[in-house]
Structure 1
Amino acid sequence: MSLIPKSHPRAKSLLIREKLVDGFDNGLVAKEGLLAQGRGEAFDYLLGEKTSKAAMQAIRAAASQLLLAEMPVISVNGNIAALCPKQIVRLSKQVKAKLEVNLFYSNEKRKQAIIKTLKKNGAKEILGSKNTSSKKLPGIDSARRIVDKDGIFVADVVVVPLEDGDRTMALRRAGKTVITFDLNPLSRTSETANITIVDNVTRAIDLLIIESKKLSKKNQKTLQKIISDFDNKKNLRDNVIQIKNNLTRRAKIA
């Protein structure tokens, strides 16, 4: 990884890019994953490159949902393995969720590289690697229809960071509660998920870990109220309004 001066105004953004490039070089990230990151970064600019009040509300609801889940599963793709493997493992341990590797552009070499990275960062059990454990989600044609029979297939709550819209819809139709990270509040994934955290996953994942730890001391009634009070559609509208307000301010400066 190249040396990025901390004084650089885009240091954090450049570090994320470097992590993804390293992830690509090490077989974790698909070429298409690099393109997806660029699209997300554009929305991060529009959102002000910080965690908003709306995002914190979604994080709080997501933490509550995970703590109440009977069988939570975190889906891991190449970008997540490259960007925040240590944090995703920490989150899984905090909320007692299983980890499952699931790829849109799937091949065995990438899958094994991701599993190796997760294990290196403290993961013990990782699902999605055995063909004998495979099940198919109905209503989706991509490789992501293949899920683990002991993981996503039987999960009640699924965390799908950086997800594609088709599988989010398929998971919802299968009766799953879906939590996602998506910087684009207008995407199909954002609009289909039960809880959408409109924030950069590299910022929000740490906040979700902290919030999960804090809320783990609350009773079931309190957690359920947090979820009931959360309105994903309103939260997405709030994020769109934030983009509008940011653009209005910039227009005045220009």
Structure 2
Amino acid sequence: MRDPITIITTVRDGDAYRDRYFSNLRQILVGPGDHAVIVDDGSTTPLTTPSDRLNDPRLKIIHPGKIGRGASLNLAIENSPTDLIAIQDIDDLSLPDRLDRQVDVLCNNHNQLVFARAVSDPWRPTLAALQHFSPARLYFSNPLHHSSLAMHRSVWASAGGYATDLPCCIDLDFYLRACCVAKARISRLSMPLIERTLDPGNRHFARIPNALYQKTRASVLARYRPDLPWSIWLAAAKLRELQLFSARDVR
């Protein structure tokens, strides 16, 4: 019997995915002690539990008003009845084996962030069932899906929780702080265990102005760069920055 885990979801105006999301929870919350904690971050129409799940003690919805995504994530984790946490966006789906496989990895080592691939990810050959990523890899690009993250509460606590003062890049900031401050390891299961909604009109990321995103990302990366040893990823990211800078000069 595996250890219990809690699905954490933050949402604002996600009614279009409500029924599908709760149906997915029914499929994946199969372990004794599994729970789901949902924080409604100020939806126009407050999120409610479907009528057939009203008396399900494993589900908890919190309505704190508009407190922001970082604060909502922290509130959800604070209210989790288990030490193991799995993030899931309301518009994404977890496949049946996701929680079992991520719990297995976390039980071997609590001090890691465990991700999974998505069904829509390009196929790439790999021999390892579990891949490990240097945090410096995130300076070149981010191949990780926050909606697939699982971790132990101790990593979140040691890292100081999610930032509440950033307009975006909250996930990136947390990954880097977990590695630099909590000394956590980034791992990713090679098999696809989530199904993502790819319509850009429904993705929070797509609604962020590009200038704001680029400015915030640069600030986050600069904050943790001094804590990382030199690596080929940092060198590649720096080279790309120089190339983009030169291209702007030419125009």
In the superposition, the TM-score normalised over structure 2's length comes to 0.31
Higher percent of residues as helix:
1
Q: Using CA pairs below 8 Å that are at least 6 residues apart, which structure has the higher relative contact order?
A: 1
Higher percent of residues as strand:
2
